[in-house]
Structure 1
Amino acid sequence: MKTTKINRQKIYEVIAEQIKQQIIDGDLKPGDRLPTGKELCEMYGVGRSTVREALSALEIMGLIETRQGEGSTVKTWNPEIMALPNFQDFLISEETVLELMEARKSLEISISRMAAIKRTEEDLNKLEDNLKYMELNLSNPNESKKTDMLFHKLLAQSTQNSIMVHLIEAISDQMDKAMEEIRRITFGSPSLSRKILKEHRAIYQAVVEQNTALAQQKMLDHLGHFEGEMGEYYKSKKELKEMEKRGKF
């Protein structure tokens, strides 16, 4: 297996992208087993949590399958699956962004319920690692934002439903583009980042307990937080435009 040595500062996406490209190029074929986590750590010169996140990202893309005690194996994959829906042309107004948020909320509530029912111990370990990593990076806006997005993708993976995974992947990526400024403000504040971490922990605990009703409610509370921020953001933009029209700026 070919690798390129990277330094510790590189994030897990670099490793995932390298392995993904080898799968696409045919260097790694369906049924091939990846090196163990320890071997990958040595090959890439990174820690276990970084490798674990890289493997999680590849699972979310549907490229590998990881089973506890058996390692990770390359799956048979369809190139068309990699082409997720693109909502970019629709993200042109406040109304369409809010509609996308509404769709995401319905999807995530369903995901939280399914995850509470179907999650495995391996899923819980990945979610727990994600929470620990987020706590360590509360003062790092970029890492906090990425860890926040990964939490929701890992939760979708816990449903054991590949369609859910691809849907949340598509919607989350587009929401991130649409809410770039809001996310910059949110994750630029350690106190707001701590609030998000607390909400994630509440969702995680409900999933651990397999409490479907509580998992759905905690997800609803969490997304309600972002809806409130979106409302304030668009309100302030409208007020600024009105002031500009009146010549106050």
Structure 2
Amino acid sequence: MLEINRIQKRKVSEEIVGEIKRLISKGVFLTDQKLPSETELAHQFGVSRSSIREALSMLASAEIIETRQGEGTYVRKVQIGDYIHPLVLSMVTEKEQALHLLEMRQIFEIGTVEIAAARRNENDLAELKQTILELEMQLKLGESGMEADFHFHRAIAEATKNPLLIQTMENLTHVMKQSLEYTHSHNVGNTERRWRVLKEHQEIFACIEKGDSHGAVAALKEHLENVRNKLKALDH
């Protein structure tokens, strides 16, 4: 019999999720191993099949397990970046939510730009320079510049050469773009703000180009702090 703890608490499906994750971490359920059927799991856990089905759905949404048509349910090879999943994060449509995401960006991007400045190569510099040219062009056309802004920050992550950092940035694409769209939408009509964003990107790039990790961190901190101040000044 499998080493499974019987479920006691009210939120049954969440308890099942926690127990299955524990079993995976202990190696009871191995990567690429087929899980027991819903009926077998229900019997082992001492719960209903509907609770098992709900728990498996939650695990599948988190990309911890996967269903293979005609074969059954298997444990996925989980990457660290998979734990930051767009569906788990709030929709960034309000100022408070945008500020929360900005705090997360500060923690993630400040460390990322420090590594990028130390590891960047000529291809990375060319990509970063291209994103700045794209931003300048978009601003001249009267556009928000959101897409070029996102491409710039993604290119910084790619310059780290760290696959987990790159994957994390990819997983954050949806909410990052929402956050940038929210802030850029409030820059439309304000020429000074829009061109200031370009200047800040140019300053970050200059430090990365020189391999100045300390300067890159300082420039990015200033950039994100300016974003924070703009957000706090908004009425809604």
Is the pair's TM-score, using the shorter chain for normalization, greater than 0.5? yes
Of the structure 1 ranges 163-172 and 211-220, higher mean CA displacement relative to structure 2 is found in 163-172
**Which amino acid letter does the alignment assign opposite residue 90 of structure 2?**
F
**Which amino acid letter does the alignment assign opposite residue 116 of structure 1?**
A
C-alpha displacement at 1:91, in angstroms? 4.0
**Which amino acid letter does the alignment assign opposite residue 153 of structure 2?**
H
* Structure-2 change in CA distance of 1:146 and 1:94 (3 Å): closer
**Which amino acid letter does the alignment assign opposite residue 206 of structure 2?**
Q
| 1:133 is aligned to 2:134 | yes
Q: Which residue of 2 aligns with 1:151?
A: 152
Contact 1:156 1:164 in 2 (8 A): yes
C-alpha displacement at 1:190, in angstroms? 3.4
Contact 1:187 1:193 in 2 (8 A): yes
Q: Whole-Å Cα distance in 2 between the matches of residues 125 and 98 of structure 1?
A: 31
Contact 1:113 1:216 in 2 (8 A): yes
Q: Whole-Å Cα distance in 2 between the matches of residues 167 and 155 of structure 1?
A: 12
Contact 1:112 1:155 in 2 (8 A): yes
Of the structure 1 ranges 195-204 and 83-92, higher mean CA displacement relative to structure 2 is found in 83-92
Q: Which residue of 2 aligns with 1:90?
A: 90
Q: Which residue of 1 aligns with 2:112?
A: 111
Of the structure 1 ranges 198-207 and 141-150, higher mean CA displacement relative to structure 2 is found in 141-150
Unmatched runs of 5 consecutive residues or more in structure 2: 1-75
Contact 1:88 1:174 in 2 (8 A): no
Of the structure 1 ranges 140-149 and 213-222, higher mean CA displacement relative to structure 2 is found in 140-149
C-alpha displacement at 1:95, in angstroms? 4.5
Unmatched runs of 5 consecutive residues or more in structure 1: 1-77, 238-249
TM-score normalised to the size of structure 2?
0.58
The DSSP-based 3-state class of the residue aligned with 1:90 is coil
TM-score normalised to the size of structure 1?
0.56
Q: Which residue of 1 aligns with 2:230?
A: 229
Q: Whole-Å Cα distance in 2 between the matches of residues 118 and 181 of structure 1?
A: 31
| 1:120 is aligned to 2:121 | yes
* Structure-2 change in CA distance of 1:141 and 1:102 (3 Å): farther
C-alpha displacement at 1:147, in angstroms? 0.5
Q: Whole-Å Cα distance in 2 between the matches of residues 193 and 153 of structure 1?
A: 20
* Structure-2 change in CA distance of 1:145 and 1:138 (3 Å): same
Q: Whole-Å Cα distance in 1 between the matches of residues 169 and 218 of structure 2?
A: 18
C-alpha displacement at 1:171, in angstroms? 3.1
| 1:182 is aligned to 2:183 | yes
RMSD: 2.8
Q: Which residue of 1 aligns with 2:210?
A: 209
How many residues are treated as equivalent by the alignment? 158
| CA offsets 1:88-112 (integer angstroms, 9 cap, x no match) | 6534765544232111111111111
C-alpha displacement at 1:168, in angstroms? 2.4
C-alpha displacement at 1:87, in angstroms? 5.0
* Structure-2 change in CA distance of 1:97 and 1:130 (3 Å): closer
| 1:168 is aligned to 2:169 | yes
Contact 1:100 1:171 in 2 (8 A): no
| CA offsets 1:8-60 (integer angstroms, 9 cap, x no match) | xxxxxxxxxxxxxxxxxxxxxxxxxxxxxxxxxxxxxxxxxxxxxxxxxxxxx
**Which amino acid letter does the alignment assign opposite residue 85 of structure 1?**
H
* Structure-2 change in CA distance of 1:135 and 1:178 (3 Å): closer
**Which amino acid letter does the alignment assign opposite residue 185 of structure 2?**
R
Q: Whole-Å Cα distance in 2 between the matches of residues 214 and 79 of structure 1?
A: 38
**Which amino acid letter does the alignment assign opposite residue 101 of structure 2?**
L
